[in-house]
Structure 1
Amino acid sequence: MSATISARLDPSAAGSEVVAGSDAATTGKSEGASDRGEGGRVWRSRVIRLVSVIAVVVAWQLLTANHIRVWVRFDTLPTVTQIVRAFGHQLGTGTYWLDLGQSMIRILSGFVLAALAGVASGVALGRSRLFADVFGPLTELARPIPAIAIVPVAILLFPTDEAGIVFITFLAAYFPIMVSTRHAVRALPVIWEDSVRTLGGSRWDVLWRVVLPGSLPGVFGGLSVGIGVAWICVVSAEMISGRLGVGYRTWQAYTIVDYPGVFVGIITIGVLGFATSAAVELLGRRATAWLPRAGAETR
């Protein structure tokens, strides 16, 4: 009623309402079309990824089942069907789940310790000149040494193989996390800290309100790399000095010429590595959701 009266008193107002309504309708349609287009791209990307995996599996089956030798000797490798049968058998045994649980305990223990130590020391290296002078040369000397080369030292240093494997895992994940955090802290714009200082903030305010939030993308980049390197080293350490674990069981399958069992271990390691890396990246996206996203459609 009031809108009708206003239109009679002021025709231009009625026209503006019509234009505003049409603009809103147009905007709603464009946003709906954009959402549908984004959803289509996401599903297309998922289908392509699934097809690529299926194509590799089919190619593997064809090459191994037909005993193809084209520089690479596929005739010596098990077929996909043999691996699937071995996988089904392993899933029904308690040993498989015991090995899986043991490897997960080792990787999570070492990785969590490395995350805490790596972030703390990376922030200290990026913020404190004294800490960088004292601790920086030691990290740069130790960083190029492969963690797996420390296995003999870990065997001598720790009273149990379990503690040694966790230490190797810790060492493998620590350096990527520390280096990424250090670079992220040093790359923060100085004006952010100056702004907090100008408003009367203390050093702790700068740390909690600028340094830690601003370095989160770099921190999670290091965590993502660290978890992958940690899996490489924990499996290698299990093969060398382990008593249980996926790496130990994979090497044992090789020594008894159980090649399908070897590939069961390899696939298990790949799935576990993918799951833990995806969990770290998901946590990183949640923790940095406030940041602007560039090129999100490529993910």
Structure 2
Amino acid sequence: MNAITPPASLAAASRPAAAEAPRRPASATLSTAPLGRLAVQAGSVAACVLLWHLAATLRLNLGAVTFANVPPPAEVLGAAWALLQSPKLGGHLYSSLLRVGLGFGFAALIGVGLGLLIGRLRWARNFLLPPLEVLRPIPAVAWIPLSILMFPSSEGSMVFITFVGALFPILLNTIHGVEAVDARLIASARSLGTRRWRLFTEVIAPGAAPSIVTGLSIGMGTCWFCLVTAEMIAGQYGIGYYTWESYTVQNYASIVVGMLLIGALGMGSSALIRRAGARLMPWYRPQGGAQ
């Protein structure tokens, strides 16, 4: 008996359809390629510098904002070259990096530790969170007079200011990360006999790690912001002190150099934290992102 041959259309329908690779628009090819992204980013920076040059050279006056006294990019470039040749540059960088490193390191240890406890343990939330929430809205500038009274040296007070600035972003992001850990993962680990300490190290901490890295990155940015404020008042070396000293002698181009250097250091240190976080979390892949 001959086998019944199904129609060609039915046979084709019965076979699993091959998954088609999603087609990307042709316009997205350049923007998604590494060289394309780099070109777009460089073009964005060049456009900002061009607008700055035009506004400064034309002495643009918009009523509420005027560029009459803003130095043009060429003048700022000359001031940057003079700073590179200055023997004080090494001292400024060393002082600022040391203060940021100490303040951020203490903030990371205390912020992550307290965040894990407050996010997981009810007694820690009830006992520790209320005073921290009272202190959180106080700006770092308001701590400067008290820090000068508390610490015998100006270095200690400046490190304390950077610590305060970085602490609360790290703390809050850690708490939110712990609260967002899937309760089913915790229940499964407990059912397999995982005890409290291993539950923290093997389930809760890895689950909260993306939020912790985000808090560390934000905390690094606020750390630089607070350091500059502290150095303007109590420092003798540092990028913030250099910027403030340039203002007192009315060297406006050097002010912009200090601002750009602070921005570059803050951006670079935050990028290093994100890169280190990506290396430590190979399992984590963000679901969102720019298209």
Q: Smaller-chain TM-score range?
A: 0.7 to 0.9
Q: Does 1:148 align with 2:174?
A: no
* Cα shift at 1:247: 0.5
Matching of residue 235 in structure 1 with residue 228 in structure 2? yes
Matched ranges for 1:112-261 at <5 A: 112-261=105-254
1:201 Cα offset (Å): 1.3
Q: Say whether the 8 Å CA contact 2:30–2:37 is kept in structure 1.
A: no
Q: Normalising by structure 2, report the TM-score.
A: 0.87
Partner of 1:5: none
**Map of 1:60 onto structure 2:** 52
* Paired residues of 1:91 and 1:97 also in contact (CA < 8 A): no
Runs of 5+ in structure 2 lacking a partner?
1-17
Q: Deviations over 1:79-120 (max 9, x none)?
A: 111110111011001112211111011011100110011000
| Correspondence for 1:294 | 287
CA spacing shift, 1:201–1:47, aligned 2, 3 Å? same
Partner of 1:49: 41
Change (3 A) 1:189 1:56: same
Cα deviations across residues 129-166 of structure 1 (Å, max 9, x unaligned)?
12222211111111111122100000000000000000
TM-superposed deviation, 1:295: 4.0
Higher deviation after alignment, 283-292 or 212-221: 283-292
Identity of aligned residues (%): 35
SS in 2 for 1:99: helix
The one-character-per-residue Cα deviations of 1:171-191 (angstroms, maximum 9, x if unpaired) are 110011011101110121111
C-alpha separation in 1, matches of 2:52 and 2:289: 33
> After superposition, what is the alpha-carbon deviation per residue over 1:51-75, rounded to whole angstroms, capped at 9, x for unaligned?
0110111121122122222222212
Match of 1:184, SS? helix
Native 8 Å contact 2:186 2:199 kept in 1 = yes
Instruction: Please give the root-mean-square deviation of Cα atoms over the aligned residues, in Å.
Output: 2.3
CA distance in 2, matches of 1:63, 1:37: 34
**Structure holding more helix per residue:** 1
Distance 1:287 1:74, change over 3 A: same
Task: Indicate yes or no: 2:76 matched with 1:87.
Answer: no
The corresponding residue for 1:273 is 266
| Alpha-carbon distance between aligned partners in 1 of 2:289 and 2:34, rounded to the nearest angstrom | 10
Amino acid paired to 2:141:
I
Distance 2:177 2:258 in 1: 36
8 A contact 1:196–1:205 mirrored in 2: no
Change (3 A) 1:92 1:296: same
Count, aligned residues: 271
The 8 Å contact of residues 78 and 260 in structure 1, kept in 2 or not, is answered as yes
Distance between the aligned counterparts of 1:151 and 1:278, measured in 2? 28
| Aligned structure 1 segments of 4 or more residues deviating by more than 6 angstroms | none
Q: Are residues 141 and 285 of structure 1, via their aligned partners in 2, closer, same or farther at CA, if it must alter by over 3 Å?
A: same
Give 2:53's aligned amino acid.
Q
Q: Which moved more, 1:51-60 or 1:152-161?
A: 51-60
